[in-house]
Amino acid sequence: MFNSLSDRLTATFKNLRGKGRLSEADIDATVREIRRALLDADVAVPVVREFTAAVRERALGAEVSGALNPAQQVVKIVNTELVEILGGQTRTLQLAKTPPTVIMLAGLQGAGKTTLAGKLALALKEQGHTPLLVAADLQRPNAVTQLSVVADRAGVPVFAPHPGNTSGADAETGAVIGDPVGVARDGVAQARARQHDVVIVDTAGRLGVDQVLMQQAADIRSAITPDEVLFVIDAMIGQDAVNTAQAFLEGVDFTGVVLSKLDGDARGGAALSVAKVTGRPIMFASTGEKLTDFEVFHPDRMASRILDMGDVLTLIEQAERAFDADEAERMAAKVAGGEDFTLSDFLVQMQQMKKMGSMKKMLGMMPGMAQMREQLENFDEREVDRVEALIQSMTPAERDNPKIINGSRRARIARGAGQTTAAVNGLLDRFSQAQKMMRQMSKGGGMPGMPGGMPGMPGLPGGGKKARGRQQPAKKVKGKSGNPAKRAQQEKDALQRALGGGAKPSAPAGSAFGVPKDREADGGADLDNLRLPGDLGKLLGGGR
């Protein structure tokens, strides 16, 4: 959602790089570009004015003028102010001292309240709570049925004593079906009787803000006295989000905001406006259609995403939830012990990565990925399934030892996975490279393919203690002589060193390559009987 804003801000900061000192004109130009980017993203005008004024005031102060890198200092200021307008600190649910904790959902029709009720219930269930969903939306056609389906998918019970409106006629006339206030009150009583520690009440919404909706929501709030009232708002509705949020704040007085459809392609100004305008924190964000596409809203992490600095902490948290700790320890011990990384291990790792969710989302959380957005958009999520099908088409012996996979086996694996032999060849080539990398890492050699290494990092090429001292000059490589006799002697010495004997210029005449004279004929070595040690013999084609 914030792709456009992120690109604009990143391009603005790029113009500041390389400048040892920022003039007032540079700062004014930067603030002007930031203002345009925020307005294009549908951020509320009052919020834009306050934000840019704060950035300009701090950028003209001593913290930038006295900084070693003024451009980075401006980025830091923008990041701090973004965190501020997004709410400042992370706000979590305030659980009641005496269960059950009552959570009421409010918002316009179509904002995603019913789906969000299931997502929130699933998240609380995974934390060890016992939530109960209450179907108090009796007006929207089939809202009760939808909540029952969502509750079944989340594996939580639902209290739905009234079927609600199933025809849609009453929704058009505005007539009330049943008693939503009574259903909400009875649902809380049911949760207390059955010892559920959390109750989530789904209320009705309308296509627009009107007095009937506000009065009904206010009556439900008075009847159940909720601990939290969450205002669910569609992050794609733009400037109207501010007006809607203010109307609900006056009519219902919510305690927190939930942003739905944050995975959309809209400009996302609602997310940057609603917290600042209403003074209520953004608590959760819905980032997809699945029940697991739900996360706690962290203002600092969201600001990092907008500025293309990544969100590694969220990525780590997702990995901790998805990865099996015992399997991770087994894999770490295997690598440390120098054992080979097999296709079976690769399949297990890939299946655990799939539990984390979309690969595009995970890669998008890495710092600097905005520069590769086009490649990310073109990435086919089904490629992971294709690779999994290829590995599952192999026998256990083939997974543990891919070297035995010959031409006929490759054809059989391709047929079993419904793919081509070229796909099998590509997988094996990539796996061979990954296997070499794992071997290098197990030996403490770091990542192959990095000639310079990472200075100051032990275990990596170019790192460790040697990297701290003065860099040693590269040794000059002596070229081959143009004199045929001298050149022949150089080649003889080189091969002798390769054989482990070192250069021996004082070898007896006629003892070429260090082979005894009685095994030579006409002053040349008997190469037919020469036995070269180990892999060198295979490499040169000699030895037996």
Helix (DSSP H) and strand (DSSP E) numbers for the chain: 25, 8
Q: Is the pLDDT of residue 265 over 90?
A: no
Helix (H, G, I), strand (E, B) or coil at 446: coil
Q: If pLDDT is split at 50, 70 and 90, which confidence band does 395 have? A: very high
Q: If pLDDT is split at 50, 70 and 90, which confidence band does 523 have? A: very low
pLDDT one-digit tens code per residue, 319-339: 666 666 666 676 667 666 666
pLDDT one-digit tens code per residue, 363-381: 666 766 666 666 666 767 7
Tell me which amino acid residue 125 is.
K
Whole-angstrom CA distances from 181 to 104, 252, 379 are 12, 14, 48
Residue 267 to residue 269: CA distance in whole angstroms: 6
Q: Is the pLDDT of residue 426 over 50?
A: yes
Q: What is the H or E stretch that residue 260 is in?
A: strand 256-260
Residue 279 to residue 266: CA distance in whole angstroms: 23
Q: Is the pLDDT of residue 292 over 70?
A: yes
In this predicted structure, what is the pLDDT of residue 64?
66
Q: From 86, 78, 83, 68, select the one nearest 27 (Cα to Cα).
A: 78
Q: What is the H or E stretch that residue 4 is in?
A: helix 3-14
In this predicted structure, what is the pLDDT of residue 511?
40
Q: From 413, 355, 361, select the one nearest 387 (Cα to Cα).
A: 413
Q: Is the pLDDT of residue 478 over 60?
A: no
Which residues have a Cβ under 8 Å from the Cβ of 324 and sit 6 or more positions away? 352
